[in-house]
Amino acid sequence: MKRLSMAVAAGLAALWCAGGSVSAQAEVIYSWENASQGWGSIAGYSTTTGVTEGTHAAAYDAPVGFSWGMQTGNWALDFAALNAAQKTGAKILLDITGPNEDPGEGAVSVGIWIWHNGANTSLGSYEIPTDGSTNTYEFDFATPGVGGDPGIDWTQARIWSTTTEGYDPGVLYIDNLRIEPIPEPASLVLAVSGGLLLLQRVRR
Domain ranges of the chain: 1-23+184-204, 32-182
* pTM score: 0.75
Q: Give bridge partners of residue 172 from the DSSP assignment.
A: 60
Cα(114)–Cα(129) distance, integer angstroms: 24
Segments of the chain with pLDDT less than 50: 2-23, 144-148, 186-192, 196, 198-199
Q: How far apart are CA 58 and CA 32, in angstroms?
A: 6
Q: What angle do CA 25, 51, 48 make, to 5 degrees?
A: 155
Hey, what amino acid is at 40? G
pLDDT at 136: 97
Bridge partner residues of 135 (DSSP): 96
How far is residue 129's CA from residue 131's CA, in Å, rounded to a whole number?
A: 6
pLDDT tens, residue by residue, 44-97: 999 999 999 999 999 999 999 999 888 886 656 666 667 677 777 778 899 999
- pLDDT at residue 153, as a whole number: 64
pLDDT on residue 120: 79
CATH of domain 32-182: 2.60.120.260
